[in-house]
Amino acid sequence: MDTTHRFNTDDDAGTRLDLLVARRADLSRTQAATLIAGGRVTVNGAPQKASYRVEPGDAIVVTVTPPDARAVTGEDIPLEVVFEDDDLLVVDKPAGMVVHPAPGNWTGTLVNALKGRGQQLAEGGGEERAGLVHRLDKDTSGLIVVAKSERAHRVLSKAIADRRVSRRYAAMCWGHLDGDTVTVDKPIARDPNDRTKMAVGASGRTARTDFVRLARFESCDLLRAHLHSGRTHQIRVHLSAIGHPVVGDDTYGGGGARRMVALPTKRHFLHAAWLVFRHPVTGATLDFRSPLPADLRVSLAAIAQMPELIAHPDPLEYLGFYRVGG
């Protein structure tokens, strides 16, 4: 089914049509230009060129036809399942695994692995997002909940929207926060200059993250990050916005110095360590904790200059990550 976007240009006068369509319809500039060339964008009822500079009061209509659906095949990929019943399962996702199929990553994803187990998955998010109620970035490790029944998907999705699912992450950032507790409440939208990235911007969706410093090292802070919303790349964008990007985050300014912090290539120090929510059917409180994985444990030991942390069963517990009320 086509998706239609309609908007006026009172606040965008002078902007190129392709740039405006990309920003307003959440598309890449190439996608926007293709739609314009194909007559799928009209200005006051008539097509225009991509270079057209919009005028005050222009009425723009963008019609987007979704790509043909592509079958998602099951694959025999090992998963670390930490909980499972008839309604849901909780997976400890490794870094490097994409959550769902998309152009450029049609295989090897978490959804491919879930389908490979031959189990029922909720279809609320469509075949490519079967069972998913939230996501993790490719290079972020940790806990993710998957709905098996439609009821579970509906209830869990609403619980996340209503902020009744507690998601806390371990993050290492460059530099030192201004205090032991910092809240970043800044809206997040697509970066208008790079559609593969997100950015803080007034036109974005509301986003809030609470940060608590667990340890201060020579060049970094170890943080507990508590999400109050679930925007794409939220923790990474918020930390970058306050000048303290996630260690190892090449996208948002935290890359480099990998040898100093003992991080492997294409890995950032961000781990979904703690997940608490009510079971969507029984109402029982579920509390799941994922120890810091081996690669981040090695990095933490190097940053802290405490080699003994490598052998610790869960350095996060040792550093007080789970000492929080509610």
Same fold, 81-161 and 166-318: yes
Contact, 54 vs 17, CB < 8 A?
Answer: yes
In the CATH hierarchy, which fold is given to the domain comprising 81-161?
Pseudouridine synthase (3.30.2350)
pTM of the predicted model as reported, rounded to 2 decimal places: 0.81
Q: For position 326, what pLDDT does the model report? A: 41
CB atoms within 10 A of CB 86: 10
List the structure tokens of 198.
Answer: 């997100």
Give domain limits for the chain. Answer: 3-64, 81-161, 166-318
**Max Cα-Cα span within the chain:** 68
Contact, 36 vs 49, CB < 8 A?
Answer: yes
Q: For position 82, what pLDDT does the model report? A: 97
Matching CATH number, 166-318, of 3.40.50.10860, 3.10.50.40, 3.40.1350.10, 3.30.2350.10: 3.30.2350.10
Strands 166-174, 194-200: pairing is: unpaired
Q: For position 150, what pLDDT does the model report? A: 93
Q: For position 68, what pLDDT does the model report? A: 57
| C-alpha–C-alpha distance, residues 81 and 25, integer Å | 37
Active site residues: 137
CATH 3.10.290.10 fits domain 3-64: yes
Please report, in tens digits, the pLDDT of each residue of the chain (326 residues total).
677 888 887 777 889 999 888 888 877 788 888 899 999 999 999 999 999 999 998 999 999 876 655 678 899 999 999 999 999 999 999 999 999 887 777 889 999 999 999 888 998 767 788 899 999 999 999 999 999 999 999 999 999 989 999 999 999 999 999 999 999 999 999 888 887 899 999 888 999 999 999 999 999 999 999 999 989 999 999 999 999 999 999 999 999 899 999 999 999 999 999 999 999 999 999 999 999 999 999 999 999 999 999 999 999 999 999 997 54
